[in-house]
A and B are shown apart, each in its own frame.
Chain A
Amino acid sequence: MKLFILRNVTILIVKIIKLLKKGNGYTLPGYIILKLFPTILKDKTFSFKKGIVVVSGTNGKTTTTKLISDIFKANGLRVTHNSSGSNLLRGIATALVMDLDFWGRVKTDVAVLEVDEFALSQVLDFIDPRVLVLLNLSRDQLDRYGETDTILSRWIHSLEILSTKTTLILDSTQPILSVLKSIFKGPTESFNSFSPQGLSVKESFNIKNVNAALKVCSLYKISLSKCLETINKFEYAYGRGEELTYEGNTFKLYLAKNPASFNNNLEMLLEGAFKFDSLLFILNDGLPDGRDVSWIYDIDTQLLERMIVDNNITTSNIYISGTRCFDMATRLFYAGVPVPRSNINISIKDTLSGVSKSPSKTVVLPNYSAMLDFRSITLGRNIL
């Protein structure tokens, strides 16, 4: 009864907040739910037959949870997945409650949750995952998260008290994560960066995401060949290699929100995954991005230069936009990539009309809110 009321009131509140355009509506209901029933997510009546899979880390969360969720679905499991990107405690609580059936009963077999690396400790206070995947840890949004050491010590604290029924899955190639292995008392598995046979994904950073997902699926007794069937026709989540067309031009989006993800994308473009003729950088300093943009000086400028030269991109085909476009332009200038003034514009819309003079294929490297802005302009609607 409790869950019946909760579920339907939550859906109502989210609808109202969305109607009023006061955000995506996931935060407030989650706050109320956890305030009234702090143990609800650990409740017997709220349990998934196949448990909860939690994925956290600086980069690759969205791709990895989507991989796991897609494979699960292809193999007959019903999945709850916070695919809208609400990955903080309250948003997750809301997403879980909303996915109950009308009567307030769990209607899926398993939950696959992407969890913000800073919010992880807090989330683990409220839910007991069957599998916990920690992908990686690197610098991101220092003004919001603090140093990586701060996050690591929070993780350590959580693993000390985490139920030993949980299976922990770690990246064995990340030295910074090795300390976690000795702290957690339960079963630990690891994954690496070797490409499994029969995989069509080429980018090395995505191979790690794939291997993490394969590890999870093997715990669920899904065979490698079954997994690969799904992975080889995998469609990336929004903003991760997503292709959009706008006024006759093609745009390929690669989220570049911190030095590690920026460099990963440069590496992939250097490897020559596909042909393109223009580049668009978009840098915002909105709330989800962090307001400190100094991280752009930690990107690998040699990699940047090689990528631009190898793809025959001239500076006249490079565009820069976003609220901090001049910061990015200055950064590129000092890296030996002087972008002409006429290609720099705060407004994404105006920048696009410049790019659109000739049919082209443009690679877009936006940070988080810039990616959302770009999508809402090119698709003509808000997605999340």
Chain B
Amino acid sequence: MKLNIAYLYQEHLNLYGDTGNVEILKFRADARNISANVLNIGVNDKINSSFFKKINILFMGGGPDAGQKDIYKDLLKNKAPYIKDFIENDGVSLFICGSYQLLGNYYKAEDASVLEGARILDLYTEQPGKGVQRCIGNTVAKLNDTILNDPVFQNNNYIGDLIVGFENHGGRTFLSERSIPFAQVLKGYGNNGDDFFEGIHYHNSIGTYFHGPILAKNPHLADYLISKSLGLDKLEKLDDYLSTSAHNTALRLRQ
């Protein structure tokens, strides 16, 4: 069996060790004799719908402002329509921080200038303006019921209902009425520090502010993504003593 991971804009969007998520997906697939293959897609690489037919998981990380500017045009013009198709046909994907913001409806910067988003995820992000603190710190959140009640998640879950991570973002994200959050914040700010929502869950795609990288200390989430993307009910259990211990340590960290 094969797992094809499309990794978009690694060169421009990797600031907080998010690249570790791809390494972890590959490691956990390989450990089950599922041969994982990472396809790096940069600014000049062309993709189309036939490319996405063979992709199991799509990943994009977060990046510095400069990095996001570099990919912005290419993303909206050349890639967004195919990404939208992939997501709406239930393709599994994970978007962290900056890429999560870019796939929304718009991004309003500190100087009130508005940057059009890819309009794939129904949300918008606004910078609160100068002098307002960034959302920085350790995070804990409870996964949403759709995921918790999904047998594929339950079969692969040996840790519990929570996820842990670290957030570091200036923008505040607001979901539309129709959108479902990825998780409910128990510690930290989440999307905006107000509504206790963290991230978005749309079809089989997840957008989130969690770094860490998120899959490092949440092996249940990693296996959920792999299982889901391959249509498997359950993966062989791995020895996750270390990542579980790191998960439990993180539950006790102050914000």
Contacts and interface: CB of A to CB of B under 8 A. Distances in A.
Nearest to B165: A294
B246 A297 contact: no
A292 B65 CA distance: 19
Contact of A333 (B65, B243, B253): B243
A139 B62 CA distance: 14
A297 B19 contact: yes
B20 interface: yes
A293 B166 CA distance: 9
Per DSSP, chain A at the interface is: helix
Contacts of B136: 143, 292
Interface residues on B, range: 20 to 34
Contact of B166 (A291, A298, A326): A291
Contacts of A331: 20, 216
B220 interface: no
B201 interface: no
Interface string A310-342: 000000000000001011011101110000010
A19 B213 CA distance: 42
Contact of A148 (B64, B134, B242): B64
Contacts of A146: 134
Nearest to A291: B138
A297 B20 contact: yes
Contacts of B168: 142-143, 292
B213 A294 contact: yes
B64 A147 contact: yes
A154 to B, nearest CB: 15
Nearest to B211: A294
A295 interface: yes
Interface string A332-355: 011100000100100000000000
Nearest to A148: B64
A146 B136 CA distance: 10
B211 A327 contact: no
A296 interface: yes
A333 B216 CA distance: 10
B17 A298 contact: yes
Given A143-B168, A149-B64, A294 B246 contact: no
A326 B246 contact: yes
Nearest to A323: B249
Most buried by B among A139, A298, A334: A334
Interface in A112-171: 139, 142-143, 146-149
Given A148-B64, A149-B66, A294-B212, A330 B243 contact: yes
Contacts of B213: 294, 297
A291 B137 CA distance: 8
B140 to A, nearest CB: 14
Contact of B17 (A296, A333, A344): A296
Interface string B60-72: 0000111000000
Interface string B180-210: 0000000000000000000000000000000
Contacts of B48: none
Nearest to B21: A297
Nearest to A320: B242
A309 to B, nearest CB: 18
Interface in B121-163: 134, 136-138
Contacts of A301: 23
B245 to A, nearest CB: 4
Contacts of A139: 15
Given A143-B168, A326-B249, A295 B17 contact: yes
Nearest to B245: A326
A295 B243 CA distance: 16
Interface in B2-47: 14-20, 23-24, 27
B19 A294 contact: no
Contacts of A330: 216-217, 242-243, 246
B51 interface: no
A294 B64 contact: no
Contacts of A291: 137-138, 166, 253
Contacts of B212: 294
A294 B20 CA distance: 9
A297 B27 contact: no
A335 B20 CA distance: 10
A292 B135 CA distance: 13
B48 to A, nearest CB: 31
B218 to A, nearest CB: 11
Contacts of B138: 291
A292 B211 contact: yes
Interface in A52-109: none
A292 B136 CA distance: 9
A139 B64 CA distance: 11
A344 to B, nearest CB: 8
Contact of A298 (B19, B24, B241): B19
Q: Which 10 A-B pairs have the closest CB atoms?
A: A297-B20, A297-B17, A294-B17, A326-B246, A326-B245, A147-B64, A329-B242, A330-B243, A330-B242, A330-B246
27 contacts: A148-B64, A291-B137, A291-B138, A291-B166, A292-B136, A292-B166, A292-B211, A294-B18, A294-B166, A296-B17, A297-B17, A297-B18, A297-B19, A297-B20, A297-B213, A298-B14, A324-B246, A324-B249, A326-B242, A326-B246, A330-B216, A330-B243, A331-B216, A333-B242, A334-B20, A334-B216, A341-B242
Interface of B: 14-20, 23-24, 27, 64-66, 134, 136-138, 166, 168, 211-213, 216-217, 241-243, 245-246, 249, 253
Given A292-B168, A324-B249, A330-B246, 14 more contacts: A143-B166, A291-B137, A294-B211, A295-B16, A297-B19, A297-B216, A298-B17, A326-B246, A327-B217, A330-B243, A331-B20, A334-B24, A334-B27, A335-B23
